[in-house]
Structures are given as structure tokens and as C-alpha cells.
Structure 1
Amino acid sequence: MTIVLIGEAEFKEFELLAEAVAERGEEAVVWDTTDWPSDVPVTFDVGGDTVTVGREFDLDEVTGVFPWVHHIFHPSLSRFADDFEDEGTRNLFMKTDQWRGIFRSLLGLFDDRGATVFYPPGTQHYDEWKPLQMEQFTAEGISVPDTVFTTDPDRAREFVADHGEVVYKPVVEEAWPNRLSESDLETAPLDRLANAPVQFQEYVEGDDVRAFFLDGEVVGASRYVTDEWTFKTESRIDDAESVDLRDEVRRDVERAGEVSPMRFGAADLRVSDETHALLEVNPGPRFAFHDLYSATDIAGVLADALVN
């Protein structure tokens, strides 16, 4: 029995997950994507019983696969910054797409062969579907902030005026959220919205909480300890605390897990003593920070799912 972990091996999550798999008596092999595209030999023999990624693997011996979706399917373009000038945009995108095509197919192949595969093809892009996420959650009665996605400056001004203070951020990809209030409207460069849609969300008071779910059930929840208005604006967070979610909060996270196409993910929430709001759901969430502070044991939960 072999458990395959796919992604940039320097991330602490891979170390924790490999250790948890080994503690359960199985072998964990990391396919390190840090330097891909590279000269690592990769062969997909159609109709064969093996695949090669660095070395040969028997398809029937691979019983569990966990890919870090952000490292395979939509890696940050900054990773390839030095290559754009040397290779050109078209060539670079073409190369990375060929690698992604192979590994999307490998995930589907292992899934077809009966392995436990997290994020088979078609399930790994849910974090790019934020407008659909919020619509689906609203339809399920999940508590979410008022939200609008727009390229229209007038609609954005109207939304800010209605709520007094909002949070704005891109629709997809990583970027820190920012706050915008009515007093900022005169100087805010909202005319730039024509370049790309932006997500505006009512500002919600409370603590930042990340709740992990697996197969529609909450398997851990952690509160970020920070003095900032959100942990995402701090370069370093010094602590995390385990959270016992209230019934209504847990119910919303589990509903969101059932609505999403993913077995495993994390819901980011704002939680106060009396209210809560679910902000978004993410595939491939970071969990090492929470595990290392003993707020959760997500590595153990995932290892159990992969091994069993």
C-alpha cells in the first residue's frame, strides 16, 4: 500500500501528513512539484499497469492520493516570474498546462482504480467559483455576509453606502482583503473596476475562525489569535486556539461542505459570541499552523482517510 502526496514538499503540511501516514504503518511518497516543469521522468502508459514519476509505481499499490491543488492546478504565477522573459508567456503557459494535464489525468486514473483520491478532476477549482459559492450557500440558508461582485463603480458605491463599511478582495487568486468605508469613497479608485470584477462584502465583527470539514462533517476548528482586524493582514500569527463551534455554526459549515464538490476543505468564518458569518470555502486549505499549535489534528484525520 502506497500513499502519494503531491505538491511542494517544503510545505510543513507534507511533513505532518507523511509522519501521520507512517504512524499508521503505511508508506507515504511525496511527488515534489517544487521544480516542475523539470527533468523528472514522468510516463503515463495508456493501458499499462504502472506509471512513472521519478520511479515506477504499480497502479494497484497506490491506494491513497492527496494533491495540494494550488501547487498543481493553478500555481501562483510569481513562481515563474524569472521564466517569462526567457521563455515567453505563451511557451511558459503551454509547458505548465502539459504538466497539469498529466496530473489531472493521473488523479482520474487512480480514482478509477479505486484509490482514495482527494480532489479528482473537476473538484479542485471551487475556490475560483466565489460568486457561485455565495449563491449556493445563500440558497441553503447558510449565514453569509451581504456580497456583490461587480465591475460597476456606481454599484460598488451604492453597496458601500448601504453597509457603511465593507471588505473588498479579488474574485480568485491570493490577495489580502482590505476595508472600505463611506469616508473613503471620494478618493477610492473605483473607476478601475472596469479592468476586472471585485468582490465586496459587508464587514462582519468577530474572530477569524477556520473550520475544517471532511465528508460533510466538521473535523476541527481553530481561532486565529491576532490583534489585527483579520489574520490575513499580519505577516506572522503567533498562536491559534481550538474552538468548540456552536450548533448553528457547525451546522452551517457542514451544509457548506455538503454543497461543495469537495471531500475535504475549510470554511473561513467570522464568529462572535452571538453571531457568525461564513465568508468562503477553500479546497487544499493550509492546516500545519493549526496542527502545530495543537488546535487541530488535521494531518491525523487525513491520514486515517487515506489509509482506511
Structure 2
Amino acid sequence: MTPDRHRAAVLVLTNTYDVTADVVLRILADRRIPVVRADPGADLLEGAPLTAHYRTGEQRGTLRASSRELDLAHVRSVWVRRPSPYEAPPGLDEHTAKFASSQAFWGFGGIIASLPGAHYVNHPWHIRNAEYKPAQPAVASRTGFLVPNTVITTDPGEARRFCTDQPGGAVYKSLWDSRYRTEDGTAQTVWVREVDPAEITDAVSVCPHMFQAKVDKAFDVRVTAVGDRLFAVRIDSPDLDWRHRQNLLTCTPIEVPKPVARAITAYLTGLRLTFGAFDFAVTAGGDWYFLECNPNGQWAWQPAEATAAIAQAIADQLERGPDS
């Protein structure tokens, strides 16, 4: 490493309550890697100064976070974890608040996404591109995965026909992890669930809905990919959507078949990702069906050994930066 690389800091973008980030930050601290932790959405509200200068052949700037001041020209890596959304300071009228929050999003977001020479895990623009649910089966089918029959439609008749035509039944999945608020204001998570074609109404026409053939699975698998390193656990759960009652699931290590590993590499390359949390449904015959890939998925819920290994792999990515 050059002297500049020794001094270059890791920028971690996340909220104050992100205990998953803490696991990696402790590793970086043990390695004596300088780290600046910032939460753009919250720090701007508290008056954290941010400045960026641009001129021909030069880009420089500073960000002052609670931990230290960061030289934006000397950032080795950026870890985009769970930053708070950009919001306007209190006390502004509605129109001014909307203007301020949009300027914060495009201004701060654009600066942080364009740091010279920084290694991103993952780049925020690539995260957003990879989060579009319709893009996932499209990319997965091109990179060698088995993909369940899927339709995304606003046509109630098409939805009913699709669900009727699936021999093993069909399931509904939301296109974004939005909380559904009931009339009393209670937020509810929309879990994956089976669909009876008879219950599909004209309400499907209000917005796109995603329906998918139900996989006759023996178990689920989560593969956490960090660069070229894969960490896989078999998940046994009584629920169709194992996230629903995580206290009832069991996790055990499992090997990733070579064709699936190659497809994971191709998928990450295609979407320019360094990190991805892949979910699979595995049949009794050993077929691995791609369900989704979260480019910023949680992983610290896994058994301690798997969590520790993933944390070390992420720390390795952040420490080495882009030149290794």
C-alpha cells in the first residue's frame, strides 16, 4: 500500500441503530483501519457540514461526521448499509420541505456516489438498479439460474389465468418491501402467500402485481455472496415465507452446487454488485430455484459461525479498497 492508502478511511453509511454494521466496525477497529460512520439523512439535519469542490482535473471535499472529519479525496471504500432516508429539517412549510429533502437526496447522494477511486460495497446506484423485482428474474434467467414461472401484471384476467395454469399452485409477492397500513394505521408486512385464482379481483388493476409458480420445495437456502466468497445456509421452516416466524427456523451449513455458484458470479457481475443475499427454494430432487437477490440484505441473523465469516469477508473488501 502507498502512504495515502494507509491514511485512507472507510466510509460507512448507516443509521445509529444498525447493530449489524457494528460487527464489521469492530473488526476494522481491531485491524486499525480508519473508519468514519455517517448517516446522511440524520447528520444533515444536525448540521453536519458537507462540501465538495470540482475543477478541471481535481475533485476534493470534506464531510464532518460525529466521529471525525473525512477528506473525500482519500476514501478507500464506502459501505452503503442502512442509512436513514433524507428528510427536511423541522419547521419548514410543506413545499420548502419537499424541495430541501429532494436537494439533499440528489446533492449528498450524488457526492457520496462519485468519490474518486473509492470501492463501493455496494454502489448506491447499483443497489437501486438491483432492487427492482422485475429485473431480478430477467437477469437470473440470463445468468443460468432456474427461475419459477413468473408474471407481473395489472390485468386481473391474466393474473387468474396464470395462477390457474400452475400445476402446483401460485404465490403472490410484493414488488417492494412496503408496509401495508390498515385503516387504524397499523403497519403490516406483506408476506409471500399462496393465491387461489378465485380470490383475484379487479383490484389487481390498481398497480402491478407479481405472481409466481409455487416451488415444491424441500427447504430454502440463503447464500450470502461477498465478492467471490459464498456463505450458504440451509433453512428449514414450517412457513412458506421463512421470514414470517424466524424463531421457528433452523439453519445448517450447506455446499453450493458449482452451476449455482457460477450463476451467482454471473449475476453479481451483470448487476455490478460486490455483495448479494440470494434466496433459493430447493426441491427434493436437488433443483435450486432462484427466488430473489437482495443487494443490501441482512445477514447477522444467521448462526454465529456464518455471521462471523461474512463479517470478516466484508471487512476484507472494505480494507483492501479498489486496487487489490
- For 2:186, the equivalent position in structure 1 comes to none
Q: Distance in 2 between matches of 1:125 and 1:141?
A: 22
Could you say if the C-alpha distance between residues 150 and 185 of structure 1 is closer, same or farther in structure 2, counting changes exceeding 3 Å?
A: same
Q: Distance in 2 between matches of 1:189 and 1:304?
A: 48
- For 1:307, the equivalent position in structure 2 comes to 319
Q: Distance in 2 between matches of 1:237 and 1:124?
A: 30
Asked if residue 203 in structure 1 is aligned to residue 214 in structure 2, the reply is: yes
- For 1:278, the equivalent position in structure 2 comes to 290
The answer to whether the Cα contact below 8 Å between 2:221 and 2:282 also exists between their aligned partners in 1 is yes
Unaligned runs of 5+ in 2: 1-6, 179-188
Asked if residue 194 in structure 1 is aligned to residue 205 in structure 2, the reply is: yes
Q: Distance in 2 between matches of 1:106 and 1:16?
A: 27
**SS of structure 2 residue aligned to 1:288:** coil
Asked if residue 154 in structure 1 is aligned to residue 157 in structure 2, the reply is: yes
Unaligned runs of 5+ in 1: none
**Per-residue displacement from partner, 1:22-43 (whole Å, max 9, x unpaired)?**
2222122211357355123232
2:142 pairs, out of 139, 143, 155, with 139
More helix by share: 1
Could you say if the C-alpha distance between residues 93 and 142 of structure 1 is closer, same or farther in structure 2, counting changes exceeding 3 Å?
A: farther
- For 1:26, the equivalent position in structure 2 comes to 33
- Relative to structure 2, which stretch is displaced further, 149-158 or 121-130? 121-130
Per the normalisation by structure 2, the TM-score is: 0.79
Structure 1 stretches of at least 4 aligned residues deviating more than 6 Å after TM superposition: 85-89
The answer to whether the Cα contact below 8 Å between 2:281 and 2:288 also exists between their aligned partners in 1 is yes
1:62 pairs, out of 53, 70, 75, with 75
- For 2:181, the equivalent position in structure 1 comes to none
- Residue 93 (structure 1) shift: 4.4
1:7 pairs, out of 9, 14, 35, with 14
The answer to whether the Cα contact below 8 Å between 2:238 and 2:249 also exists between their aligned partners in 1 is no
Asked if residue 120 in structure 1 is aligned to residue 123 in structure 2, the reply is: yes
- Residue 102 (structure 1) shift: 3.0
**Per-residue displacement from partner, 1:147-184 (whole Å, max 9, x unpaired)?**
11001111111111111411212222345333234xx3
- For 2:113, the equivalent position in structure 1 comes to 108
1:40 pairs, out of 28, 47, 56, with 47
The answer to whether the Cα contact below 8 Å between 1:64 and 1:116 also exists between their aligned partners in 2 is yes
Percent sequence identity is: 23
1:263 pairs, out of 258, 274, 285, with 274
- Residue 121 (structure 1) shift: 5.0
- For 1:246, the equivalent position in structure 2 comes to 257
Q: How many residues align?
A: 292
- For 2:184, the equivalent position in structure 1 comes to none
Q: Which amino acid aligns with 1:261?
A: R
- Residue 86 (structure 1) shift: 8.3
Q: Which amino acid aligns with 2:239?
A: E
Q: Distance in 2 between matches of 1:71 and 1:60?
A: 21
The answer to whether the Cα contact below 8 Å between 2:131 and 2:294 also exists between their aligned partners in 1 is no
- Residue 14 (structure 1) shift: 1.0
